[in-house]
A and B are shown apart, each in its own frame.
Chain A
Amino acid sequence: MTDHAVASSRAPLEVRGVSRRFEETVALSDVSFAVNAGELFGLVGPDGAGKTTLFRILTTLLVPDSGTATVLGLDVVRDLWAIRSRVGYMPGRFSLYPDLSVEENLSFFASVFGTSIDEGRAIIAPIYDQIEPFKDRRAGALSGGMKQKLALCCALVHCPEILFLDEPTTGVDAVSRREFWDLLGALKKSGLPILVSTAYMDEATRCDRVGLIQRGRILAVDAPAAIAARYPNPLIAVHANERHKLIQSLRDYQHAKSVYPFGDEVHYSDARAAKAMDDIVAELRTYLAGSGFTDLRVKPISAGVEDAFMELMGQPEATVRAAA
């Protein structure tokens, strides 16, 4: 009970200087951030950034080399058993029993927490109602989106006080992704703090705050809009008939700072931060028309959170999954 008193006075999740290596690989390096009460916090980063390693530490499956972390005010190393019964965890990979039915999986996870589907019904209802028609189907035979909803139900059925979702939308179609985020939004309204990781940068906008992680380091922690507002350079969206060639030409342009595909357009940022936007647009249009592009559209835009991430990571587009 004293644990609880301590917990209520603190942020539900605090990470302070956590590092972890696997032999040569530095998976996490001095990671610090906190998730506040009732907050939907997104951890955004490319493959291999260290997201899963961090989740495993926070869910007591792994011990950090250095640094400390508290979940609900409980130390992840010392108080592992207290943490285990009070958090909900959805691992990155589908980790339910494919040979058990939807209902069997759910009631199994409910029962190991000493509860039942009926008792957990209130919290899982919005999600479970969608998969209940398939409750006798083997979990292994569900579609990706359904599997994910079932996994979320299993992580929620014991009414956890904080939720950890590791890349819940990876490998799921766009519609299911959107639906899933809608569900998270609804859950958040119930006051449940949620830490969710993703490699899709466009999903960052669905979070209250995001932490951008790359190669084990946190590059920025802020609200998505605030991160977007940090974008320092003029940004221009370009469309032309041959996109691949367009990227090449833009990269060759003498004032180019960065160029990356974005949907069916290409985002171009100019190195001359002080120059007037209209002038840049006009120059660029002349340059591209001169290079033989047709069907040209060149328009100034304000940076989104994804552009800000690209800027912060300073990486070629290949390592991140931009909006589809």
Chain B
Amino acid sequence: MRLRVLRFLLRKEFLQIVRDRTLLGMLFIMPVIQLLVLANAVTFEVKSARMYIIDKDHSSMSRGVATRLAASGRFVPTESSPSMAEGDEAILDRRVDLIVVIPEGFEREIVRDHRAPLQLVFNAEDGAAAAVMQTYANAIVMNYAGELGAEVSPSVVTKLSVGDGGAPARGHPVMELRRRGWYNSELDYREYMVPGILVVLVTMIGTLLTAMNIVREKEAGTLDQLNVTPINRSTFIAAKLIPLWTFAMIDLSIGLVVARFVFHVPVLGSLVLVFFAATIYLVGALGIGLWISTVAETQQQAMFVTFSLLMVYLLMSGLFTPIRGMPVWAQWTTEINPIAHFVALMRAVLLKGARTRDVASHLAALAAISSVVLSIAIRQYHKRSA
């Protein structure tokens, strides 16, 4: 009987959502806004970066690397020599933006082992520009490797320029990191922001739309009408939360597709893990929406309360400023901030390929926060509607 009623309620909810133009707009415009924000991050785009070629192999394949990079139009070979020292000189004098180092035996190794090392050295003075350069260069090199039926693993080196305070001695690579497992939050602004933007997206859908949806029934008087029926509270709440949970998940999927295929943001970890975490997180986000609906009398109030609350949560989440840069007390509050946990988890899984056990603490925190929030909200809901 309960389930039967739930089914009818769900049918009604989906009918209403599908007919609500503004709501549908929000559901599909949100990912587009995300897209625009991302597009903005790419305005650092480097038109054509100057490239220093150090070809120690002199093979057709090594020349191929330089040709492909140049053919993209994004890189212009301006200088070349076999000397790493001269290349370093050029980058530190800001005559070039990157150095491509093709080691001796490149072609031979590809033919024999189907893999060969390749080094890209970037001027990381402008982090965002370097990130964009790196994304393109990697894509082109990977593409070329694919054509050769080989695996080229480029290693990335960032060089700080002379202008930087702690400038290293000339000729010394500052960092040398394998591409796999390479992660530098300051370097790729866009990659860094994407998981956060996805979190904002599902939070908006989850919290705001839940609050608005229930308050709308309150405003219309239909909530009173529903209360004089045998529908019990839990069935009603389930019927409200399930559709919005579904739409939040759909939006998350759209967001991920856009991030991955339009902006080539890496998705290194498991998507199953991402969706599993989102499921847990959304229970809390929807719970907050439910709670807001008990205190707000009008949709306007609901919107105001939601935005105020989310603003605080977002600012304290480490989305815009790294958590370790916050005052100590603020760092503590992030422990009970679901957005902070979810952002950290998304970054770890998407950008670093973290696995379940790496993010277990975040999952546990999310589960705890969500169950507390939901039970408080349900209690409050019961109390409010006598």
Q: Which of A25-72 contact B (CB under 8 A)?
A: 56, 59-63
Q: Let me know if A112 is at the binding interface, CB within 8 A.
A: yes
Q: Let me know if A293 is at the binding interface, CB within 8 A.
A: no
Chain A positions 89 through 117: 1 when the CB is less than 8 Å from some CB of chain B, otherwise 0: 10101111111100010001101111000
User: In the complex, what residues of B have CB within 8 A of residue A93's CB?
Assistant: 221
Q: Let me know if B382 is at the binding interface, CB within 8 A.
A: no
A124–B307 alpha-carbon span in the complex (Å): 45
Chain B positions 2 through 24: 1 when the CB is less than 8 Å from some CB of chain A, otherwise 0: 00110011001001100110000
User: In the complex, what residues of A have CB within 8 A of residue B60's CB?
Assistant: none
A-contacting 9-mer, from B75-83, B226-234, B344-352: B226-234
> Are B229 and A95 in contact (CB-based, < 8 A)?
no
Which of B8, B20, B227, B386 is within 8 Å of A99, CB to CB? Answer: B20
What is the CB-to-nearest-CB distance from A59 to chain B, in angstroms, rounded to a whole number? 5
> Are B15 and A89 in contact (CB-based, < 8 A)?
no
User: In the complex, what residues of A have CB within 8 A of residue B8's CB?
Assistant: 108, 111-112
What is the CB-to-nearest-CB distance from B294 to chain A, in angstroms, rounded to a whole number? 15
> Are A84 and B16 in contact (CB-based, < 8 A)?
no
> Are A62 and B386 in contact (CB-based, < 8 A)?
yes
Q: Which of B358-386 contact A (CB under 8 A)?
A: 385-386
A279–B19 alpha-carbon span in the complex (Å): 70
Q: Determine chain A's interface SS by DSSP, over half rule.
A: loop
CB-CB under 8 A for A111 and B5, given A62-B386, A104-B15: yes
User: In the complex, what residues of A have CB within 8 A of residue B222's CB?
Assistant: 95-97
A114–B221 alpha-carbon span in the complex (Å): 22
User: In the complex, what residues of B have CB within 8 A of residue A59's CB?
Assistant: 228
User: In the complex, what residues of A have CB within 8 A of residue B226's CB?
Assistant: 112
What is the CB-to-nearest-CB distance from A164 to chain B, in angstroms, rounded to a whole number? 8
Q: Let me know if B220 is at the binding interface, CB within 8 A.
A: yes
> Are A91 and B229 in contact (CB-based, < 8 A)?
no
Q: Let me know if A85 is at the binding interface, CB within 8 A.
A: yes
> Are A114 and B12 in contact (CB-based, < 8 A)?
no
CB-CB under 8 A for A112 and B229, given A61-B224, A94-B221, A95-B222: yes
Q: Let me know if B312 is at the binding interface, CB within 8 A.
A: no
> Are A87 and B228 in contact (CB-based, < 8 A)?
yes
Nearest chain-B residue to A89 (Cβ)? B228
Q: Let me know if B272 is at the binding interface, CB within 8 A.
A: no
Q: Which of B1-51 contact A (CB under 8 A)?
A: 1, 4-5, 8-9, 12, 15-16, 19-20
A109–B224 alpha-carbon span in the complex (Å): 13
> Are A100 and B9 in contact (CB-based, < 8 A)?
no
> Are A99 and B225 in contact (CB-based, < 8 A)?
no
Residues of B within 8 A of A (CB-CB), count: 24
Chain B positions 273 through 314: 1 when the CB is less than 8 Å from some CB of chain A, otherwise 0: 000000000000000000000000000000000000000000
User: In the complex, what residues of B have CB within 8 A of residue A97's CB?
Assistant: 12, 16, 220, 222
Q: Which of B41-78 contact A (CB under 8 A)?
A: none
Q: Let me know if A81 is at the binding interface, CB within 8 A.
A: yes
> Are A81 and B230 in contact (CB-based, < 8 A)?
yes
> Are A95 and B16 in contact (CB-based, < 8 A)?
no
User: In the complex, what residues of B have CB within 8 A of residue A94's CB?
Assistant: 221
User: In the complex, what residues of A have CB within 8 A of residue B228's CB?
Assistant: 59-61, 84, 87, 89
What is the CB-to-nearest-CB distance from A119 to chain B, in angstroms, rounded to a whole number? 14
CB-CB under 8 A for A61 and B227, given A99-B19, A108-B12: yes
What is the CB-to-nearest-CB distance from B75 to chain A, in angstroms, rounded to a whole number? 55
Residues of A within 8 A of B (CB-CB), count: 28
> Are B9 and A114 in contact (CB-based, < 8 A)?
no
> Are A84 and B227 in contact (CB-based, < 8 A)?
yes
Nearest chain-A residue to B4 (Cβ)? A114
User: In the complex, what residues of A have CB within 8 A of residue B230's CB?
Assistant: 81, 84-85, 112-114
User: In the complex, what residues of A have CB within 8 A of residue B224's CB?
Assistant: 56, 61, 91, 95
A137–B362 alpha-carbon span in the complex (Å): 50
A63–B385 alpha-carbon span in the complex (Å): 10
User: In the complex, what residues of B have CB within 8 A of residue A81's CB?
Assistant: 230, 232
A62–B19 alpha-carbon span in the complex (Å): 32
> Are A63 and B16 in contact (CB-based, < 8 A)?
no
Nearest chain-B residue to A101 (Cβ)? B15
> Are A95 and B9 in contact (CB-based, < 8 A)?
no
> Are A95 and B5 in contact (CB-based, < 8 A)?
no
> Are B225 and A100 in contact (CB-based, < 8 A)?
no
> Are A61 and B229 in contact (CB-based, < 8 A)?
no
User: In the complex, what residues of B have CB within 8 A of residue A154's CB?
Assistant: 225
CB-CB under 8 A for A112 and B5, given A85-B229, A104-B15: yes
A96–B230 alpha-carbon span in the complex (Å): 17
Nearest chain-A residue to B229 (Cβ)? A112
What is the CB-to-nearest-CB distance from B272 to chain A, in angstroms, rounded to a whole number? 36
User: In the complex, what residues of B have CB within 8 A of residue A95's CB?
Assistant: 220-222, 224-225
Which of A91, A104, A114 is within 8 Å of B225, CB to CB? Answer: A91
What is the CB-to-nearest-CB distance from A250 to chain B, in angstroms, rounded to a whole number? 42
Nearest chain-A residue to B226 (Cβ)? A112
> Are A100 and B227 in contact (CB-based, < 8 A)?
no
User: In the complex, what residues of B have CB within 8 A of residue A61's CB?
Assistant: 224, 227-228, 385-386
Closest 5 pairs (CB-CB, A-B)? A95-B221, A111-B8, A85-B230, A95-B225, A89-B228
7 new A-B contacts, CB < 8 A, other than A94-B221, A100-B16, A111-B4, are: A56-B224, A61-B224, A85-B230, A95-B224, A99-B19, A112-B9, A114-B4
**Residue contacts A-B, CB under 8 angstroms, 21 given:** A59-B228, A61-B224, A61-B227, A61-B385, A89-B228, A91-B221, A91-B224, A95-B220, A96-B222, A99-B16, A99-B20, A100-B16, A104-B15, A108-B8, A109-B225, A109-B229, A111-B4, A112-B9, A112-B226, A113-B229, A113-B230
